[in-house]
A and B are shown apart, each in its own frame.
Chain A
Amino acid sequence: MDKKQITSSLWKRNLRKFFNNRLAVLGFVIMAVILFCCIAAPLLTEYLPNAINLKELTRAPESGHIFGTDKQGRDVFARVLYGGRTSIMIGVVSSLMGSLIGVVLGAIAGYFGGLIDSLLVRLSEIFSTFPQLILILVLVSIIGPGVFSLIVIFGVTGWMTTFRMIRTEFITLREETYVQVARAFGMSKSSIIFSEILPNAFSPVIAATTINVAGFILSEAGLSFIGLGVPSGTPTWGNILNAAKGIDVITNFWWLWLIPGIVLSLFILGVNFVGDGLRDVLDPKQL
């Protein structure tokens, strides 16, 4: 039989399963389109996100400014695209960071058990029960606001879900026969953890990381909206919505909050659909 064909059968099967899941495909398309537009922003609009144009204040959407302009005459379309870059970056990087911390700590706790496990579990409980907002206020006051500090804060406060997942998976998987086999051959602890157990524990993490991206983008929007997030000089989806604070904006200038809101929601929805789809596809128990 053709070796190559057999080799790729696992991937092919996963891809086919993913493409059979209509919601996941829809989510993927939405996500990809928005992501592409943000990355390709300079090609799609000649406006710069922070270019103030006092002649064109609060224009409604028209041919020149398809999403209209804001109170300082900045092009909303450009702002949404450039802002998306920062927001998505924050979401992705924080989520990866959180997952990394969670995976490492979870693997240690789950594989070794005992006292170290108890300590790490308590630590994760402290982090989950401590109000995130207060933690963020404390951290912002220490390291100051900004994209970088936001990522650090999100990473440090967002590892507990992954930790719990990986820990549980490890506790179950370390008793699996193939792990015993590896031990019987004398394999080292690290190769057992990384080569035997982790790949089998990873699928829920991939799904959770994806969904966390959405969560962190929302958190960024929320924090920036109340002024604790990224400084208003840098456009992010949160900062754009921040500008829409105030009753007069909501009643008179609908495009300032409705359009960025819709883009944000669509992206979040897309990411969640993809995450849910991945969770079903990657479930190793369905092999």
Chain B
Amino acid sequence: MEKEVLFDITHLQKYFPIRKGFLKKHVGDVKAVDDVSVTVYKNETLGIVGESGCGKTTFGKSIMLLDTPTGGEVLFHDRDGAKDITKMNAQEQLHFRKRVQMVFQDPYNALNPLKKIIESFEGPLKLHGIKDKAEREEIMREVLRVVNTNPDYLYRYPHEFSGGQRQRLCIARALEVGPEVLVCDEPVSALDVSIQAQVLNLMKKIQRERKLTYLFIAHDLSVVQYMSDRIMVMYLGHVMEIADSRALYDHPAHPYTEALLSAIPVPVRGAKKKRIILEGDVASPINKPPGCVFHTRCRKCMERCKQEVPVMREIAPGHRVACHLYDGAETVTEPKGEEQTE
């Protein structure tokens, strides 16, 4: 099956300026996302994984235009051609938001505590042009049915619900406007273990039924692997490796991916594998190390790594890695999304 491109992201960059003093002088940048290039295909789940501060949340927010990117290009492919989301006008943006929605990490704060569920649900519908009250009601009941939730919940306040129920409500609200893409930022990490599985399975079911595309952001590689077709590993605002979910687990190419995989505790007794303990901590996103951003903690660090930023290379079909260990492989600097559409 030919894969249809949905997002074409090239050299995405998001810096947060640090300003000091009364006149807010620019004294530096938090380089949350430095250089991310990736293609998102229709109907797939792209998992984005990394530790805190790797820029995965900022990446998600940049895609949603909650944080305006400071560089790069995010092409969104629509029926009427591709458009850079950073250059959209207000009308186009509103339309974009109808097609791309987000589920947030913290279900406890994602519903306005002073509003009944129905009030939180109606706002977006009104905004997106559904003027008829009966029609709105119909949509709200439908999305609540999709997330297996009682329609009577509409008339209650958020504090009456548990975390799992709230996250269902949040997913339902995101679905209201009929999006094709859901950016999910750690959707289950605030939930209890037994509830996580419920929500994950629900999200899979919704994806099947509604043919959604997911950008699934999480720190827990086991969860990401369960959900995703492809996984992108990030570290300090850079992409380390992109591969099919299975390939990433079976043949991790980047030393960071290896360490990340080995650090995850597996709930199987005696499954103890050789653990790679990473020394030290993540470097500061304000003063990043030169060369490869991971070289300060890398056990395979070479002289080159300290000076030269490695480029993305394709080491197997669909398997890209940014590491000097693979300098011999074919070089791919730009994702080839553009050519795959007609």
Residues in chain A within 8 A of chain B (CB atoms): 1, 3, 6-7, 9-10, 114-115, 118, 122, 176-178, 180-187, 191, 195-196, 199-200, 284, 287
Kindly list 18 other residue pairs between chains A and B, CB separation below 8 angstroms, not including A6-B155, A186-B97: A3-B155, A6-B156, A10-B157, A115-B24, A122-B22, A177-B104, A178-B110, A178-B120, A181-B110, A181-B173, A184-B97, A187-B124, A187-B127, A199-B112, A200-B112, A284-B113, A284-B114, A287-B113
Q: In whole angstroms, what is the CA distance A122 to B24 when docked?
A: 14
Given A6-B156, A118-B24, A284-B114, A177-B105 contact (CB < 8 Å): yes
Q: In whole angstroms, what is the CA distance A181 to B156 when docked?
A: 19
Expressed in whole angstroms, the minimum distance between the Cβ of B317 and any Cβ of chain A is 35
Cβ contacts under 8 Å, A187 to chain B: 123-124, 127
Q: In whole angstroms, what is the CA distance A196 to B123 when docked?
A: 10
Q: Which residues of chain B in 109-130 are interfacial with respect to chain A, using CB atoms and an 8 Å cutoff? A: 109-114, 116, 120, 123-124, 127-128
Expressed in whole angstroms, the minimum distance between the Cβ of B100 and any Cβ of chain A is 9
User: Is A181's CB under 8 angstroms from B104's CB?
Assistant: yes
Cβ contacts under 8 Å, B106 to chain A: 177
Q: In whole angstroms, what is the CA distance A196 to B110 when docked?
A: 11
With both beta carbons as reference points, the residue of chain A lying nearest to B156 in the complex is identified as: A6
User: Is A10's CB under 8 angstroms from B93's CB?
Assistant: no
Cβ contacts under 8 Å, A181 to chain B: 102, 104, 110, 170, 173
Which residue in A114, A177, A195, A200 is a CB contact (below 8 Å) of B110? Answer: A177
User: Is B156's CB under 8 angstroms from A180's CB?
Assistant: no
Q: In whole angstroms, what is the CA distance A199 to B101 when docked?
A: 25
The interface centre, meaning the residue of A9, A122, A180 with most chain B CB atoms within 10 A of its CB, is: A180
Q: Give the B interface residue count (CB, 8 A).
A: 35
Expressed in whole angstroms, the minimum distance between the Cβ of B114 and any Cβ of chain A is 5
User: Is A199's CB under 8 angstroms from B114's CB?
Assistant: yes
Expressed in whole angstroms, the minimum distance between the Cβ of B213 and any Cβ of chain A is 16
Q: List 21 A-B residue pairs with CB atoms under 8 Å apart, sorted by A's residue number.
A: A1-B152, A6-B155, A10-B114, A115-B24, A118-B22, A178-B109, A178-B120, A181-B104, A184-B64, A184-B102, A185-B97, A185-B101, A185-B123, A186-B93, A186-B94, A186-B97, A191-B123, A195-B123, A196-B112, A284-B114, A287-B159
Residues in chain B within 8 A of chain A (CB atoms): 19, 22-24, 61, 64, 66, 93-94, 97, 101-102, 104-106, 109-114, 116, 120, 123-124, 127-128, 152, 155-157, 159, 170, 173, 177
Cβ contacts under 8 Å, B177 to chain A: 185
Cβ contacts under 8 Å, B22 to chain A: 118, 122
Cβ contacts under 8 Å, B155 to chain A: 1, 3, 6-7
User: Is A180's CB under 8 angstroms from B97's CB?
Assistant: no
Expressed in whole angstroms, the minimum distance between the Cβ of A81 and any Cβ of chain B is 39
Q: In whole angstroms, what is the CA distance A180 to B106 when docked?
A: 11
Which residue in A10, A176, A184 is a CB contact (below 8 Å) of B109? Answer: A176
User: Is B114's CB under 8 angstroms from A186's CB?
Assistant: no
Q: In whole angstroms, what is the CA distance A191 to B156 when docked?
A: 22
Cβ contacts under 8 Å, A3 to chain B: 155
Which residue in B64, B123, B128 is a CB contact (below 8 Å) of A182? Answer: B123
Expressed in whole angstroms, the minimum distance between the Cβ of A10 and any Cβ of chain B is 6
Q: In whole angstroms, what is the CA distance A265 to B116 when docked?
A: 41
User: Is B157's CB under 8 angstroms from A177's CB?
Assistant: no
User: Is B116's CB under 8 angstroms from A7's CB?
Assistant: yes
Q: In whole angstroms, what is the CA distance A177 to B170 when docked?
A: 11
Cβ contacts under 8 Å, B173 to chain A: 181
With both beta carbons as reference points, the residue of chain A lying nearest to B106 in the complex is identified as: A177
Q: In whole angstroms, what is the CA distance A200 to B157 when docked?
A: 14
User: Is B127's CB under 8 angstroms from A185's CB?
Assistant: yes
